[in-house]
C-alpha cells in the first residue's frame, strides 16, 4: 500500500508580505485611490502644523492670571492650570483633598491587581474590593462616620463627582438590571409586567427629564421633614436609568445563550438560581461585554448633564470658571477641550480594559 505524506509548507511569496506590497495594495491600488490618498495627506499636512502650533508651541503655559497669556496665537493653558484643582476636586476643602487622592490610588491599585493576581485571589479579594470601593470612597469623602472632619456633599464636585456617581450607579445597576432582565423573561405574569414597566419607563424617558423628576418630584414621595441629600437622589435616578438600559443589554445576552445550555443544566439537576448564576450569567456577561461597556460609557458621559440641575460636576465647574470675572478672556475652547480630553482618556481606558476582559473570557479557541 502507498504511504501518504502531506506536502511540506512553503514560505509565502515576497510580493504579498512587507511594507511596499502593503502600500501598493492598500494606498495606491488604482489611480483614483492614489489621488484620494494624496488628497488626504495634503489635507492633514495643512491642518496639523497650525493645530500643533496652537496647542503646544505657541501656547501659554506659565502664570497664574489670564494676563500671563500674552501670545494670542496660542492656547491659554494657564486658565486650565489655574482652575485644575476645581475641575478635579470641585470645592472640596484643600487640606482634605488627600482623601480623594487616596480613593483614586486605591482604584488604580485594584484595577492593576485584578489583572496581575492569580484567578482565585482576584475573585476572592480584588473583585469584592472593586465593588465596595465606591461606597468606601463615599464614607471616606463624607468623613463623619470614621471620625474625620465632615464634608457635606455640597462641597463635592468636579471630575471626582462624575467618576463617583458613575461608578456607584454602575455597581448597583449591574445586579438590579440583571434581575429586571430575568423578570422580563419570567413565566410569572406579575413579575414580568413589573419588570417590563420599569425597564420601559426608565429607558423611554429622557435622562434630563429623569434628573428633574429626581430633584423636584422625588422629594414629594419621601415622608415630610426628611431631607434626602440631592446627590443621593441623583444617584438613585442614574442607577435606575442605567438599569433600564442594561436590562435590555442583558436580555439580548440571554437570547444568545443556546437553549441546550439550559437543558444541560436542568438535566444535571441544578436548581433555578444555580443554573442562572453558574451557567447562564457568565455566558450572558461574555456575550454582552461590548454592549455593557457602551452603556457604561454612555452613563459616564451623561453625568455631565447634571450641570442642568446645579450639581458641580466637571462641566459645570468649567462653565463657572469661564464666567469668573477674572477670566473673561474667552477661554471656552481651552476649557471644553480639556473636559473632552479628560473624558476621552477615561472612556478609552474603559474600552481597553473591557476588550482585555473580553479576551480573558474568550474560551472558544484558546490553544
**Long-range own/partner contacts, residues 286-289 (CB < 8 A, 24 or more apart):** 286/358, 286/361, 286/362, 287/252, 287/253, 287/256, 287/257, 288/249, 288/250, 288/252, 288/253, 289/354, 289/357, 289/358, 289/361
Residues contacting residue 84 through CB under 8 Å, at least 6 positions apart: none
Cβ 258 to other proteins shortest distance, Å: 8
Nearer to other proteins, 25 or 266 (CB): 266
Q: Smaller CB distance to other proteins: residue 72 or 365?
A: 365
CB of 130 to other proteins, least distance (A): 20
Least distance (Å) between residue 360 CB and other proteins: 11
- Give the span between the Cα atoms of 159 and 317, in whole angstroms: 9
- Closest contact distance (angstroms) between CB of 124 and other proteins is 15
Residue nearer to other proteins on the CB measure, 259 or 325: 259
| Shortest CB 272 distance to other proteins, Å | 8
Residue 123 vs 144, nearer CB to other proteins: 123
Least spacing, CB of residue 173 vs other proteins, in Å: 23
- 5 or 367, CB closer to other proteins? 367
Write out the residues near other proteins by the rule CB under 8 A.
Answer: 258, 260-261, 263-272, 274, 278-279, 282-283, 286, 361, 363-367
Contacts of 325-334 with C-beta under 8 Å, sequence gap 24+, read 326/65, 326/66, 327/66, 327/79, 327/82, 327/83, 329/66, 329/69, 329/76, 329/79, 331/66, 331/76, 331/79, 331/80, 333/75, 334/75, 334/76, 334/77, 334/79, 334/80
Place of cell 463617583: 164
Would you say 269 or 310 has its CB closer to other proteins? 269
Amino acid at each position: 500500500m502507498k504511504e501518504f505524506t502531506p506536502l511540506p509548507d512553503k514560505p509565502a511569496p515576497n510580493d504579498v508580505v512587507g511594507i511596499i506590497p502593503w502600500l501598493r495594495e492598500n494606498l495606491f491600488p488604482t489611480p483614483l485611490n492614489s489621488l484620494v490618498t494624496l488628497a488626504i495627506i495634503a489635507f492633514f499636512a495643512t491642518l496639523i502644523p497650525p493645530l500643533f502650533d496652537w496647542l503646544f508651541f505657541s501656547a501659554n503655559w506659565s502664570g497664574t492670571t489670564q494676563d500671563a497669556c500674552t501670545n494670542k496665537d496660542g492656547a491659554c493653558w494657564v486658565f486650565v492650570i489655574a482652575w485644575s484643582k476645581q475641575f478635579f476636586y470641585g470645592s472640596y476643602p484643600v487640606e482634605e483633598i488627600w482623601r480623594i487622592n487616596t480613593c483614586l490610588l486605591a482604584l488604580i491599585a485594584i484595577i492593576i491587581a485584578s489583572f496581575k493576581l492569580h484567578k482565585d485571589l482576584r475573585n476572592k479579594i480584588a473583585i469584592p474590593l472593586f465593588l465596595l470601593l465606591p461606597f468606601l470612597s463615599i464614607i471616606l469623602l463624607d468623613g463623619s462616620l470614621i471620625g474625620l472632619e465632615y464634608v457635606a456633599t455640597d462641597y463635592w464636585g468636579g471630575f471626582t463627582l462624575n467618576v463617583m456617581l458613575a461608578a456607584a450607579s454602575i455597581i448597583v445597576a449591574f445586579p438590579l438590571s440583571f434581575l429586571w432582565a430575568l423578570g422580563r423573561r419570567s413565566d410569572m405574569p406579575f413579575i414580568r409586567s413589573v419588570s417590563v414597566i420599569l425597564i420601559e419607563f426608565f429607558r423611554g424617558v429622557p435622562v434630563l427629564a429623569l434628573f428633574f423628576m429626581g430633584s423636584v418630584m422625588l422629594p414629594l414621595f419621601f415622608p415630610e421633614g426628611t431631607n434626602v441629600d440631592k446627590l443621593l437622589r441623583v444617584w438613585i435616578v442614574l442607577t435606575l436609568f442605567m438599569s433600564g438600559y442594561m436590562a435590555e443589554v442583558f436580555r439580548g445576552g440571554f437570547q444568545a445563550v443556546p437553549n441546550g445550555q439550559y437543558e444541560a443544566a436542568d438535566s444535571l439537576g441544578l436548581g433555578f438560581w444555580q443554573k442562572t448564576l453558574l451557567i447562564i450569567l457568565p455566558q450572558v456577561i461574555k456575550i454582552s461585554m461590548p454592549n455593557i461597556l457602551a452603556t457604561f460609557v454612555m452613563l459616564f458621559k451623561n453625568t455631565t448633564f447634571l450641570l442642568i440641575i446645579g450639581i458641580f460636576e466637571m462641566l459645570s465647574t468649567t462653565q463657572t470658571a469661564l464666567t469668573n470675572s477674572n477670566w473673561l478672556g474667552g477661554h471656552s475652547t481651552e476649557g471644553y477641550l480639556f473636559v473632552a480630553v479628560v473624558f476621552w482618556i477615561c472612556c478609552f481606558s474603559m474600552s481597553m480594559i473591557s476588550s482585555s476582559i473580553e479576551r480573558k473570557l474568550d474560551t472558544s479557541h484558546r490553544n
